[in-house]
Amino acid sequence: MRKQLLSPLVPFLIFFLYISTTVAQTPSPAPSGPANITAVLEKAGQFATFIRLMKSTQEANQINTQLNNSNQGLTVFAPTDNAFTNLKAGTLNSLSDQQKVQLVQFHILPNFLSMSSFQTVSNPLRTQAGNSAAGEFPLNVTTSGNQVNITTGVNTATVANTILTNGQLVVYQVDQVLLPLDLFGTAAALPAPAPSKPDKDVPAKAPAGSKEDASVDTSGATIATVSVSAVLIAAFH
């Protein structure tokens, strides 16, 4: 009788023991911490140049420190390797160390901006490079439907993709390097135009009464004087 009562419970007991063992052996997930900006970009791929620039300027460490030590959000516009390839040859090498820092900071906003926030945000946007409201490193956003364009005063980039968004850090892929007007203003970036080549020189006719005319007249008078003298001498002989 006891055996008959236990028989229906055996499957349930086995299932309970299996679930308990499985749960005990499964490790608990590690607590999610602030994202590491270089790790995010490395995982996404095609951002090697921007990563190298962020590391060389120490901006990667600055971003990670800020994410770990505060609740302040950040927005990063990450240009692809192709975007850097499209720059004029020697553009990065022509910048000083301080200007490279400003270039990277120009791609970072000191607050979290979701994609929908671009529809209502006020221009100009403040970047890590300076106070745009005071005319330093102005950055403006324009939208057309779901498309978001970033305008610098030198060029315009398009937000192509959202690489990461976690409520504290959002990283957007952009198709061009954002060139600050303060560093790449058109007046300073364009070479001065070459002077126009003058037309073929045509000797100007000397004005009447000039020295050149006087020399011609004098030589003519000399020839006439010599001729008269020769006639007189021949007459006496």
Q: What is the pLDDT of residues 11-70, one digit of tens each?
A: 554 554 444 444 333 333 333 555 699 999 999 999 999 999 999 999 999 999 998 888
Output the pLDDT for position 70.
84
Residue 231: inside a domain:
no
Q: Supply the pTM of this predicted model.
A: 0.65
CATH number of the structural domain spanning residue 79: 2.30.180.10
**What are the two backbone dihedrals, phi and then psi, of residue 189, each rounded to the nearest 5 degrees?**
-80, -30
| Position 133 confidence tier, pLDDT thresholds 50, 70, 90 | low
Residue 168: inside a domain:
yes
Output the pLDDT for position 49.
97
Number of domains the chain is built from: 1
Residue 222: inside a domain:
no
Q: What's the domain range around 145? A: 37-174
Cα–Cα dist 108/191, whole Å: 30
Q: Mean pLDDT, to the nearest integer, of 79-100?
A: 95
Residue 14: inside a domain:
no
76 forms beta bridges with 108, 171
**What's the chain's average pLDDT?**
76
pLDDT > 90? residue 84: yes
Going through the chain in order, the beta strands assigned E by DSSP cover 74-79, 108-109, 140-144, 147-151, 156-165, 169-174
Give percent of the chain above pLDDT 70: 61
Q: pLDDT, tens digit, for every residue of 140-195?
A: 999 998 899 999 999 999 999 999 999 899 999 999 999 999 898 864 443 445 55
Residue 227: inside a domain:
no
Cα–Cα dist 194/176, whole Å: 30
148 forms beta bridges with 143
Residue 17: inside a domain:
no
| Closest of 168, 111, 109, 96 to residue 137, by C-alpha | 109
Residue 147: inside a domain:
yes
Output the pLDDT for position 51.
97
169 forms beta bridges with 74
52 forms beta bridges with none
pLDDT > 50? residue 218: no
Residue 21: inside a domain:
no
| Position 230 confidence tier, pLDDT thresholds 50, 70, 90 | very low
Sign of CA pseudo-dihedral 128, 131, 136, 141 = positive
| Position 224 confidence tier, pLDDT thresholds 50, 70, 90 | very low
Output the pLDDT for position 222.
42
Give percent of the chain above pLDDT 90: 52
